[in-house]
Amino acid sequence: MKYKRILLKLSGEALMGNRQYGIDPERLAEYAEDIKEITNKGVQVAIVIGGGNIFRGVAGASNGMDRVQGDHMGMLATVINGLALQGALEDAGLKTRLQTAIKINEVAEPFIRRKALSHLNKGRVVIFGGGTGNPYFTTDSAAVLRAIEIQADVILKGTRVDGIYNTDPEKDTKATKFNFISFEDVLSKGLKVMDTTAFTLSQENKLPIIVFDMNKRGNLLKVVSGENIGTEVNI
């Protein structure tokens, strides 16, 4: 395996499958099998998941809701998704821990870096919920922050698109895919990989990002094995 320890970033929308909202158990089960496949190869897996399938703080704020209140609701949505993913992983036979940036002791452990590292070293899948625990920060920022803290080798951003393109491939049939692109080129070309805060934090810490299609079975194993699928962002 090319990578020993990864941080897998999943969007909340990814859990919807073909639904309009909520969580698709079949999609969760597929993700769990893909994750099990790489843990069986000895890869240590940490996961950050969004909450957009349930609630988005930014969307709430645009409709007149207090932004801080909305972001706290979004954090709780990520915990719900984390619990759902935890259940699917355990159904697949994996040992897991859910750690949250906001204290919900009856539901999950609080995030403690040393505990997270201990769990990973013991082969447990660690899910980080609650974002960074602060409003105005996205789960992209949480993913990069946690990846740096646990000294992950790479951030794998699982999406429904098979990489980064010069234009939106879902709207432009002539869009060109990048197999590799530097942090500087992403910024100069105005490409959207992560929000600016998250992307800058990744760049400053020289932490590579690979964007790939998580919805195609077996792709996660291919990425971790070093196969050239998706798009790698690096220095």
For residue 191, what are its two tokens?
């490409």
Residue 192 clears pLDDT 90, i.e. is over it = no
12, 24, 54 from 20: Cα distances, Å: 12, 10, 10
pLDDT tens digit sequence for 10-22:
999 889 988 888 9
pLDDT tens digit sequence for 75-99:
999 999 999 999 999 999 999 999 9
**Is 153 within 8 Å of 6 (Cβ atoms)?**
yes
Share of the chain above pLDDT 90, in %: 83
pLDDT-derived band at 57, boundaries 50, 70, 90: low
55, 119, 150, 174 from 192: Cα distances, Å: 22, 33, 25, 18
In DSSP notation, 73-123 reads HHHHHHHHHHHHHHHHHHHTT--EEEEESS--TTTSEEP-HHHHHHHHHTT
Farthest CA pair distance, the chain: 51
pLDDT given at position 76: 96
pLDDT given at position 173: 86
For residue 175, what are its two tokens?
């869009």
Enumerate domains of the chain plus CATH numbers: 5-159 (3.40.1160.10)
Q: Which of 135, 4, 121 is nearest to 60 (CA)?
A: 135
Q: Which of 168, 162, 142, 147 is nearest to 220 (CA)?
A: 162
Residue 115 CA to residue 113 CA, distance in Å, equals 5
119, 204, 209 from 125: Cα distances, Å: 7, 27, 20
| Pairwise pLDDT comparison (56 vs 17), residue with the higher score | 17
pLDDT-derived band at 60, boundaries 50, 70, 90: low
pLDDT tens digit sequence for 106-115:
999 999 999 9
pLDDT given at position 61: 67
pLDDT tens digit sequence for 150-176:
999 999 999 988 999 998 888 888 899
Residue 143 clears pLDDT 80, i.e. is over it = yes
Residue 55 CA to residue 67 CA, distance in Å, equals 12
Looking at residue 6, its amino acid is I
| Pairwise pLDDT comparison (58 vs 26), residue with the higher score | 26
Residue 63 clears pLDDT 80, i.e. is over it = no
